[in-house]
Structure 1
Amino acid sequence: MAEVTLHNITKRFGATTALDGVSMTVPDGSFVVLLGPTGAGKTTTLRLISGLDRPESGEIAIGGRPVADLTPAQRNVAMVFQQYSLYPHMTVRENLAFPLKSPILRTPADEIDRRIGRVAEMLQISHKLDNKATALSGGEMQRVSIGRALVRDPQVFLMDEPLSSLDAKLRSDLRVELKSIQQEARATFLYVTHDQVEAMTMASHVGVLEKGRLVQFGTPREVYEDPVSIHAAGRLGLPRINIVPADLFGPAPEGVEWIGLRPEQIRQGEGPQAEVVRVEHLGDQTRLHLSFRNHDLVTVTDAHTELRAGQMLSIRPENPFYFDASGARTHRGR
């Protein structure tokens, strides 16, 4: 496996700047998740690393080696797309074997069989090896798609929302499997997703992109507990962070326009009263939707709370995040 470095990467499509001076290091053996809305530059980053696109400026290196002059095949990376991208006329075994039979790899037949067997067992599809791809369920097809990347044993795995088209249970199962595979293989993963749960549960590092710029890079806990901006704060956490005017609870420090309150930063039982608008029982916790001085707030409370819609609840902020008018974090000491 290998470290991936991007230094001052800029990529344009006509008049649109997809990436603007992005620098980032994906450590060897890490699981890095890129977060950001559509158009932030996540998929473009993967395509540049893989060699499918070329940057206007900047340098990309894999394992310390600049890759500007290398073709996608020579870079030895494997990419998994959101769509399954399988050959429908081939069996699962043939789909898994296909990348190993390329003229560049020239993998011996016995080695192909060994790798297919290992990956099929890992992904729990050994019993499907002789099935045509068209005979598989959606979850099985995505497992084969992921398996086709795993058999190659590349330097870097690039994954573009590979679980987004699956149902909730399959996504949960494959999250666990992918993280286990990554740790077992000590592989370098760069993974794009909109799903905050995937980022929080799988990532060793999170990169937050906004309009083609990397605005924050760190562990999921660092981004959650110490966001640099409103945008970064909103990328992680369910329920989403509450962003309200700075003076909603009283005078704010100079230069502060907004305050951010995660559910645990709203203290209950003290302070002015808010109205409980809706109560959502989620099993292990209860989510409270509140109305406070014409602003909506969401927090969580005990799973067995007896609070009901229409009741009043005293609340106050506790160690809120402070943001200026541009959305940048200020007063970082909290």
Structure 2
Amino acid sequence: MANVSLRNIDKSFGETKAVRNVTFEVAKGEFLVLLGPTGAGKTTTLRLVAGLEKPDAGSVLIDGADVTSAAPASRDVAFVFQQYSLYPHLSVYDNLAFPLRSPARRMPEDEIRSRIEAVAGMLRIGGKLQNRSTKLSGGEMQRVAIGRALVRRPAIYLMDEPLSSLDAKLRADLRLELKRIQRDLGATILYVTHDQIEAMTMADRIGILSEGRLVQVGSPREIYADPDNVYVAARLGQPSINVLPLGALPVRSAPRTAYSVGVRTEHLDISRDGGPGANARLDWVEHLGDQNHLHIRLGDHRLTILAQPGTDLSAGEALRIEAANPLFFDEDGRRIR
């Protein structure tokens, strides 16, 4: 496995700036996730590392070697795409064997079989090796697509939202499988997604992208608890952080330059109050099984927060809400610490 560095990378397509002065490093054996909405520059960044795009400025290094101008085939990377990209006329075994039989890295058949059986065991598709890929479920096809990258044993794995087309249960299962495999192999993975759950559960570190810029990089806990701005704060957390104008919610102290306040469930003290101290009303309770979302009206503003499944609060109740240790932001949305 290798480390990967991007240094001051710029990439434009016509008038559109897809990547703007991006710099970061993926350490050996690290699982780094780039998180952001559509158009943030996630896939373009992967394609720049793979050599499928050439940067307008900056450099790409793999294991210390500058590969900015190198051909994709010489970079020793494996790319897992959002769509399965399997050969429908081939069996699962032959799909997995395909990259090992290419002229660039042809291997003896006994070694190919050994690698395939090991990877199939890790992915729990050992009983499907003789099936045509068209006879597989969606989850099995994606496992084969991931397996085709794993048998290569490249310097780095690049994964472009490989789980986004699967149903919720399969996504949850494969998230755990992929993280387990990454730890077992000590693999270096650069993974992109718009799904905060994937980022939180799999990443060693998360990089937040916005309009081609890398806004913040840190551990999932750091990104959640200590965001640099409103944009980053809104990327993680379910329900999303509530951002209110300063003064809309009682706070115990606020910086002089604070313009808005960000509150999650853990930042709020909530109590029933049918008297003059009430400042909010519970509009409705959204029951989600293992948790509830409370939808609260606070003057002209609305808040959504979490509550335990056994909460005895009900719609229409008057509440007293106060913020304790919230996040403060200035007029431009930057965090005030």
**TM-score, normalization by structure 2:** 0.96
Aligned-partner Cα distance in 2 for 1:154–1:111: 16
Say what the alpha-carbon RMSD is for the aligned residues: 1.3
Q: Is the 8 A contact 2:11 2:20 kept in 1?
A: yes
What SS does the aligned partner of 1:305 have?
A: coil
CA shift at 1:250, angstroms?
4.9
Aligned-partner Cα distance in 1 for 2:34–2:167: 21
Q: Deviations over 1:110-159 (max 9, x none)?
A: 11101110111111111111111111111111111111100100110110
What does residue range 12-91 of structure 1 map to in structure 2 within 5 Å? 12-91=12-91
What does residue range 275-314 of structure 1 map to in structure 2 within 5 Å? 275-314=281-320
Give the equivalent residue in structure 2 for 1:218.
Answer: 218
1:273 equivalent in alignment to 2:279? yes
Give the equivalent residue in structure 2 for 1:254.
Answer: 256
What does residue range 125-274 of structure 1 map to in structure 2 within 5 Å? 125-250=125-250, 252-269=254-271, 272-274=278-280
CA shift at 1:272, angstroms?
4.1
Q: Is the 8 A contact 2:250 2:321 kept in 1?
A: no
CA shift at 1:315, angstroms?
1.1
Unpaired runs of 5+ residues, structure 2, are: none
CA shift at 1:283, angstroms?
3.0
The amino acid that maps onto 2:257 is G
1:162–1:156 Cα change, 3 Å: same
The amino acid that maps onto 2:18 is A
CA shift at 1:281, angstroms?
2.5
Give the equivalent residue in structure 1 for 2:119.
Answer: 119
The amino acid that maps onto 1:124 is R
Aligned-partner Cα distance in 1 for 2:186–2:302: 44
Aligned-partner Cα distance in 1 for 2:289–2:325: 27
With 245-254 and 148-157 compared, the bigger mean Cα shift is at 245-254
Q: Is the 8 A contact 2:260 2:331 kept in 1?
A: yes
What SS does the aligned partner of 1:239 have?
A: coil
What SS does the aligned partner of 1:73 have?
A: helix
Q: Is the 8 A contact 1:266 1:299 kept in 2?
A: no
1:116–1:141 Cα change, 3 Å: same
Q: Is the 8 A contact 2:286 2:294 kept in 1?
A: yes
Q: Deviations over 1:240-262 (max 9, x none)?
A: 11111112125853322211111
1:250–1:302 Cα change, 3 Å: closer
CA shift at 1:286, angstroms?
2.0
Aligned-partner Cα distance in 2 for 1:80–1:101: 18
The amino acid that maps onto 1:317 is A
Corresponding pairs, count? 331
With 104-113 and 41-50 compared, the bigger mean Cα shift is at 104-113
Aligned-partner Cα distance in 2 for 1:32–1:120: 24
What SS does the aligned partner of 2:83 have?
A: coil
Q: Is the 8 A contact 2:92 2:129 kept in 1?
A: yes
Aligned-partner Cα distance in 1 for 2:155–2:319: 54
Q: Deviations over 1:139-188 (max 9, x none)?
A: 11111111110010011011000000101110111001000000000001
Q: Deviations over 1:203-242 (max 9, x none)?
A: 0000000111101001000000100011111111111111
